[in-house]
Amino acid sequence: MPDVLRVAVPVPLPQLFDYRAPPGETVAAGCRVVVPFGRNKRVGIVVGHAATSEVPAGRLKTIDAVLDDAPLIGAELLATLQWASRYYQHPLGAVLETALPVGMRQAKPLPFEGERALTLAAAGRAVAADPPLRRGTRVRTLFERLVDGPLAYATLDETLPGWRDSASALRQRNFVETIALSTATLPTARVTGPTLTDEQRAAIDAVAAEHGRFRAFLLEGVTGSGKTEVYLQLIERVLAAGGQALMLVPEIGLTPQTLRRFRERFGASVFALHSGLAEGERSRAWLAAARGDAGVILGTRSAIFAPLPRLAIIAVDEEHDASYKQQDGFRYSARDLAIVRARALGVPVVLGSATPSLETLANVEAERYTRVRLSARPGSARAPTLRVVDMRRSRLVHGMSPELVTAVRDCLARGEQALIFRNRRGYAPVLTCHDCGWHADCERCAKPMTLHRARARLVCHHCGAERNVPAQCPECAAQTLAPQGHGTERLEEALVDLFPQAPVVRIDRETTRRRGALEALFDSLGPDKPGIYVGTQMLAKGHDLPNLTLVAILGVDDGLYSADFRASERLGQLVVQVSGRAGRASKPGSVLLQTHHPDHALLGTLLRGGYRGLAASLLAERRDAQWPPYAHLALLRAEAKQLQQTEKFLRDAAEAAGMPDGIDLAGPIPAPMPLRAGMHRAQILLSSAERARLQHFLPAWIDALRALASARHVRWSVDVDPIDL
Ligand code: ADP
Ligand code: ZN
Ligand code: ZN
């Protein structure tokens, strides 16, 4: 009997595909193979072997080629991917599609080893902070790109045409040198860390004591308490022992500044891995990890799938961040998979946050995770004071209470910086007619469109639809269309108007579209001049702002009365995270929360007990209500052009489910947005006190759903551990 290869093919089909190995060849699991698939060729991954196949011998095809001599995906990673495929109920082929960079999914030989790269030489690094090169020149641009680490010639060819001339100029001054990337591996610590505080030392000792063993830690420490320093020194030890480290950060956390901080410590062995990279760079980082050349992978969500044969520690910064959960396709949680992988590998994993998720806190409570704390900020930095500003009956100035405006004025007068936080981009969330009450809605979502004044467009933030701003009311022809409410664009305008002498820097998705724009904006205000930042949650993290002493948070009320059971947790996290920007250096900071509901219980709890107090009360609520983390959820979402199609499918789905033991089934119920982009949406929520019950129930149910006739008219998906209901 010929050896049958079981191959995962990156297509959205649930099954593996069987192929015959070429006569006389054995192909190891984890190797890539080119297979005939329908009328095409595909690159698949060998997942295992079988003696027989259900495919009749005569129809079993033979693979075309084997692409790797040795497994590209090691046994541990393959096992993790298979686990994730089962747990998140997603086809293995499609899981691989998420896990593998595009370059690895093509029937091309891998880039050869020892690729040439340009890097800063010692003389260049010495002047990296302030290079003696004229701004705006190509030479300077090249130099600045290299500050972040070595760049392969291929990458430079792609992204900086004509770079070779600039490189010659830099080479003449001994600022740069050429290296082979695969030799750029040894961690050459360039900057040593500060002397640790006692708490930092205790945290590091606790984690390091578990070297070579699985153990999950929660590193709980307010913003600025030195968590990153703890990760850095833990990683340093791991590298010294010959291991590799994986460090996950949220999407907005991976700023060039973070990367620079890691590279200052560990030199060229740090590779970034995130979706913003050019394909070539992504493949290169991935391969460097797989070959063991990368000491540290610093990446966002999908970096959890990096192949790291000597992985000895995983750290997840800001573990509560929603960006760790993928919200479409393969809906995995990178934070949770970090635990799974660490357990499989037998290595410690550190989840860090100033505002840990309730899930993680419950795991600490249940003694599955060990908590280590950083309670104080190093040096003289103190936690900011939090105050509620009652905006009822006060005459608002551009959406801001007089008290708040005064606080900003005083802050500027002291020569310090203020941050106005509003998690709404655009000019105004609604455009209405004063005469008849008409407002501009997105027809495809039945929600107000946001006015973007500078672009003179109405934009739907739910589906991206855009249209022109009408000159008059389409309903009554009155010329009295007026923006309602305040987005960041409008606040910027107001602040410029109120404080004409102060620089105002707006930071949101609009102003930071270009690569590097975020850093440039922070730099434009500089560390010590007075000025005002206004923006969305992009401001919650990133750059150190030592002269920032006032944070004003607008729009908290949106989060106080939301239907989402996680809204309170999120609001608490956001308030604490944004507040953490104030008073990070020696100057004390203060935080103002502007609200119409100063007596709301959540605000009271937060003010009195901080995030810890809030979390304790929210956990008690969740326990009473049997919500996560004290229950486990899976959500079946469906959408169709017609409401009846969605409803029919979900009714059939509920019927197919029957009355599963130990599982509550709610629905069909409307989705939080019953209409989006023209699709009618609804869902069924499954809940169980035991994770295993859901896991046992889901596969057969999903098979049944696939077979439903009504499934043909809907788009549906199952989300295990959903974070948006
Ligand atoms: P977090 O990650 O918790 O926000 P960081 O590690 O970034 O905190 O530390 C905040 C600031 O304090 C940084 O500027 C960092 O260099 C500095 N820092 C961290 N640990 C120490 C220490 N032990 N002594 C002095 N400064 C420190
Ligand atoms: Zn009107
Ligand atoms: Zn829309």
Nearest-CA residue for atom 18 of ligand 1: 226
Q: How far is CA 105 from the centre of its chain?
A: 23
**Cβ 258 under 6 angstroms from ligand 1:** no
Inter-residue contact 223 to 377 (CB < 8 Å)? no
Q: What is the pLDDT of residue 115?
A: 64
**Cβ 226 under 6 angstroms from ligand 1:** yes
Residue type (1 letter), 426: G
Q: Is 460 annotated as a binding residue?
A: yes
Give distance in angstroms: CA of 44 to centre of ligand 1.
Answer: 45
What burial class does residue 582 get, using C-beta atoms within 10 Å of its C-beta: 0-12 exposed, 13-18 middle, 19+ buried?
buried
**Cβ 242 under 6 angstroms from ligand 1:** no
Q: What is the pLDDT of residue 111?
A: 61
Q: What is the pLDDT of residue 436?
A: 94
Distance (Å, whole) CA 72 – CA 50? 20
Q: Which ligand is nearest to the CA of 479?
A: 2
Q: What is the pLDDT of residue 545?
A: 85
Q: What is the pLDDT of residue 630?
A: 96
Q: Which ligand is nearest to the CA of 447?
A: 3
Q: Is 445 annotated as a binding residue?
A: yes
Q: What is the pLDDT of residue 110?
A: 65
Q: What is the pLDDT of residue 326?
A: 96
Nearest-CA residue for atom 8 of ligand 1: 226
* CA-wise closest residue to 593 among 614, 571, 621, 613: 571
**Cβ 194 under 6 angstroms from ligand 1:** yes
Distance (Å, whole) CA 704 – CA 718? 13
**Cβ 192 under 6 angstroms from ligand 1:** no
Q: What is the ipTM of this complex?
A: 0.97
Q: How far is residue 601 from each of residues 423, 568, 604, 609, 626, measured CA to CA in Å? A: 22, 11, 5, 12, 21
Give 36's Cβ-side CA count (13 Å radius).
11
Burial code of 261-288, b = ≥16 C-beta within 10 A, e = fewer? bbbbbbbbbbbbbbeebeebbbbbbbbb
Q: What is the pLDDT of residue 381?
A: 61
Q: Count other C-beta atoms under 10 Å from residue 605's C-beta.
A: 19
Q: Which helix (H) or strand (E) holds 284?
A: helix 279-290
**Cβ 224 under 6 angstroms from ligand 1:** yes
Residue with tokens 């002493």: 549
Give distance in angstroms: CA of 469 to centre of ligand 2.
Answer: 14
* CA-wise closest residue to 313 among 256, 230, 221: 230
**Cβ 196 under 6 angstroms from ligand 1:** yes
Task: Report which ligand 1 atom has the smallest distance to the Cα of 354.
Answer: 3
Q: Is 473 annotated as a binding residue?
A: yes
Inter-residue contact 63 to 12 (CB < 8 Å)? no
**Cβ 225 under 6 angstroms from ligand 1:** yes
Q: How far is residue 625 from each of residues 12, 166, 620, measured CA to CA in Å? A: 37, 64, 9
Q: Is 433 annotated as a binding residue?
A: yes
Ligand 1: residue of 198, 228, 319, 321 to mutate (most ligand atoms within 8 A of CB) is 228
**Cβ 360 under 6 angstroms from ligand 1:** no
Task: Look at the alpha carbons of 352, 354, 358, 362 in this order and tell me if their dihedral is positive or negative.
Answer: positive
Backbone angles phi, psi at 584, to 5 degrees: -80, -25
Distance (Å, whole) CA 639 – CA 635? 13
Nearest-CA residue for atom 11 of ligand 1: 224
Mean pLDDT, contiguous 10-residue spans, the chain (725 residues)? 81 86 85 91 91 84 88 90 95 89 76 70 87 91 87 78 87 83 49 88 96 96 89 95 95 79 88 85 88 92 94 97 94 97 96 96 97 82 82 87 95 95 95 94 95 95 95 92 95 96 94 82 87 91 83 89 88 90 79 93 91 95 95 97 97 95 93 95 97 96 96 96 91
Give distance in angstroms: CA of 472 to centre of ligand 2.
Answer: 8
Q: What is the pLDDT of residue 161?
A: 79
Distance (Å, whole) CA 638 – CA 196? 52
* CA-wise closest residue to 28 among 86, 83, 74: 74
* CA-wise closest residue to 695 among 720, 668, 669: 720
Q: What is the pLDDT of residue 116?
A: 73
